[in-house]
């Protein structure tokens, strides 16, 4: 039983479809409300007839003519509401969108009064309507969720479960660089990360504990990556024959050199992460030794685990893009709609290639010079960058070629920046002095002379007039 005021005809039709049995205005008398309650209680339907007058002939004609424009207005309002829900909007963008929404609401109110009828669109269907107008095939995403990995009881179970929760919130790339997993559908991104976390949880005890002189886990990292590639590929491509499995294993082995050079060599904190998961006591965060159960340690371990998962996911997708990008079955199952054409995939691969060149030549030398490492972390459904301090003097001394030149240019920029800023400040002060004290006063004197000349002319004219 509803008693709202000023329900439109469209809203009344919608609540009727919900199964509501009765309606009357909030301003109705108490007798009307009692009558409606008795009717609904005895299984009847009570709808107070308070509908507005039917539109006139000219209003109907105007409504038919303006219907496409009013539908577009409703869709624009829905898109603005969706953008306003984004927490990452700047203040200027939010102010602009709020003002735009206010203008559109005013236009909708005026149009509804002119045609005496309203148009209401379901927000869930607005995207489908827009896509159908463009001739695109609208695919409804599946509602079933992939099963979450189940971890065996261990000291690391809580950490793995918390990381899985972070993955479930989403993997929207909010960094300034392109990632390989950006090409995957959201549910495929999560599935790939689940495979990595589950495999890591199941096999972490198989790692031989490294001593202080040999802290290299490349072999285990390679094993984890190669197994994930084969598992991920067969999961969406289908069962392979023995010969195809051997070919895939050989292909993965051939791609390891490039993957290691582009990704594995630059994953920060792999040794510390694995040693913590293996149960070694203590953990160093920013040159401070903490206990294993301190909050600082747990937060840093989760960040390192985020970074490892994202980098492993990128390395798995890189193998797919380098060797199986043109398989149609994988395109439709893995890729987002905007990346299914050959041209879009080629452009995406070229952008990735340029990204790694830029990292090697410019970004990584800058990080080394600034004594920091870059991590990919999961933060409220988004992938973000986090920079952590670490001494890198030895790496800085080993730089050669263009990376070394990059650090020299950065140092040169830092050296001359104060002088340049000071020169700009002095030049600005000089310009202000010239404009105000020289040109400004000169223009003031000229204006004063003009005014005095006009005054003298007026006096002469008045004097001659008096003489006549």
Q: Do 32 and 105 share a domain, yes or no?
A: no
The residue among 384 and 6 whose pLDDT is bigger is 384
Does 255 lie in the same domain as 106? no
Cβ atoms within 10 Å of 301's Cβ, excluding its own? 21
**Lowest-pLDDT range of 74-83, 318-327, 411-420:** 411-420
Angstrom distance (rounded) from CA 424 to CA 150: 62
- Give the residues across from 47 on adjacent strands: 23
- Of the chain, the percentage scoring pLDDT greater than 70 comes to 80
pTM confidence score? 0.61
Question: Does residue 231 sit within a domain?
Answer: yes
Say if residue 102 is in the same domain as residue 199: no
Q: Is the pLDDT of residue 136 over 80?
A: no
Separation of CA 265 from chain center: 27
| Between residues 442 and 278, the one the model is more confident about | 278
Residues 234 and 97 in one domain: no
365 and 300 in one domain? yes
In a domain, 139, yes or no: no
Domains of the chain: total: 3
Classify residue 29: in a domain, yes or no: yes
**Residue length of the chain:** 468
**Pair (120, 177) in one structural domain:** no
Which pLDDT value is given to residue 142?
43
Model pLDDT for residues 156-166, shown as the tens digit of each residue: 888 998 899 89
C-alpha 263/C-alpha 227 separation (Å) is 17
In this predicted structure, the answer to whether residue 330 has a pLDDT above a threshold of 70 is yes
Answer yes or no: is pLDDT of 446 > 60.
yes
Asked whether residue 199 is domain-assigned, the answer is yes
Please write the tens of the pLDDT for every residue from 226-240. Answer: 999 999 999 888 888
| Statement to judge: residues 328 and 233 lie in one domain | yes
Structural domain that includes position 68: 57-133
The verdict on residue 420 lying in a domain is: no
Among 118, 133, 148, the domain-final residue is: 133
Residue 174 reports pLDDT greater than 50: yes
As a whole number of angstroms, the distance between CA 333 and CA 335 comes to 6
Last residue of a domain, which of 364, 382, 399? 399
- Indicate if 387 and 332 belong to the same structural domain: yes
Neighbouring-strand partners of residue 22 = 46
For residues 123 and 236, state if they share a domain: no
Nearest to residue 335, comparing CAs of 356, 322, 317, 355? 317
User: Is 407 within a domain?
Assistant: no
Cβ-based burial of 395 (10 A; exposed 0-12, middle 13-18, buried ≥19): middle
| 102 and 15 in a common domain | no
Q: Which has the closest alpha carbon to 128: 171, 78, 81?
A: 78
pLDDT averaged over the chain? Answer: 79
Domain contains 178: yes
E strand or H helix at 415, and its extent?
helix 401-433
- Indicate the angle between helix axes 295-323 and 218-237, nearest 10 degrees: 50
Q: Are residues 320 and 207 in the same domain?
A: yes
Q: Is residue 374 part of a domain?
A: yes
Mean pLDDT of the 73-94 span? 83
Q: Which of 337, 367, 399 is the last residue before a domain boundary? A: 399
Question: What are the DSSP calls for 184-197, one per residue?
Answer: B-HHHHHHHHHHHH
Residues 297 and 172 in one domain: yes
């Amino acid at each position: 039983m509803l008693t709202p005021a000023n329900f439109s005809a469209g809203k009344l039709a919608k609540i009727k479809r919900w199964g509501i049995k009765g309606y009357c205005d909030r301003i109705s008398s108490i007798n009307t409300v009692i009558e409606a309650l008795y009717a609904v209680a005895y299984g009847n339907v009570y709808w107070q007839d308070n509908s507005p007058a039917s539109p006139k002939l000219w209003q109907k004609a105007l409504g038919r003519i303006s219907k496409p424009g009013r539908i577009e207005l409703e869709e624009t309002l829905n898109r603005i509401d969706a953008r306003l829900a984004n927490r990452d909007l700047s203040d200027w963008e939010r102010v602009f969108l709020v003002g735009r929404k206010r203008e559109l609401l005013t236009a909708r109110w005026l149009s509804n009064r002119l045609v005496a009828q309203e148009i209401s669109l379901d927000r869930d269907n607005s995207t489908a309507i827009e896509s159908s107008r463009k001739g695109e095939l609208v695919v409804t995403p599946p509602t079933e969720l992939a099963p979450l990995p189940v971890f065996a009881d261990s000291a690391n179970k809580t950490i793995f479960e918390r990381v899985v929760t972070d993955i479930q919130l989403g993997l929207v790339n909010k960094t300034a660089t392109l990632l390989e997993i950006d090409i995957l559908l959201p549910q495929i991104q999560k599935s790939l990360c689940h495979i990595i976390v589950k495999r890591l949880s199941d096999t972490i005890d198989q790692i031989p504990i490294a001593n202080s002189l040999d802290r290299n886990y490349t072999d285990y990292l390679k094993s984890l990556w190669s197994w994930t590639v084969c598992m991920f590929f067969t999961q969406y491509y289908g069962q392979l024959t023995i010969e195809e499995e051997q070919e895939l294993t050989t292909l993965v082995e051939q791609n390891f050199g490039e993957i290691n050079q582009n990704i594995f060599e630059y994953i920060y904190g792999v040794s510390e992460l694995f040693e913590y998961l293996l149960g070694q006591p203590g953990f160093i965060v920013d040159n401070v030794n903490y206990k294993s159960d301190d909050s600082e340690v747990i937060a840093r371990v989760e960040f390192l685990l985020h970074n490892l998962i994202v980098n492993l996911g990128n390395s798995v997708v890189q193998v797919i893009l380098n060797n199986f990008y043109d398989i149609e079955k994988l395109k439709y199952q893995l890729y987002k709609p905007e990346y299914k054409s050959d041209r879009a995939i080629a452009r995406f691969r070229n952008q990735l290639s340029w990204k790694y060149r830029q990292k090697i030549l410019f970004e990584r030398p800058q990080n080394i010079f600034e004594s920091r490492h870059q991590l990919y972390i999961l933060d409220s459904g988004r992938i973000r960058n986090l920079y952590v301090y670490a001494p890198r003097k030895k790496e800085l001394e080993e730089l050669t070629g263009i990376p070394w030149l990059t650090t020299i240019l950065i140092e040169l920029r830092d050296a001359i920046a104060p002088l340049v800023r000071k020169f700009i400040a002095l030049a600005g002060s000089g310009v202000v002095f010239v404009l105000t004290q020289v040109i400004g006063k000169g223009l003031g004197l000229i204006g004063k002379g003009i005014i005095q000349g006009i005054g003298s002319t007026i006096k002469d004219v008045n004097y001659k007039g008096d003489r006549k």
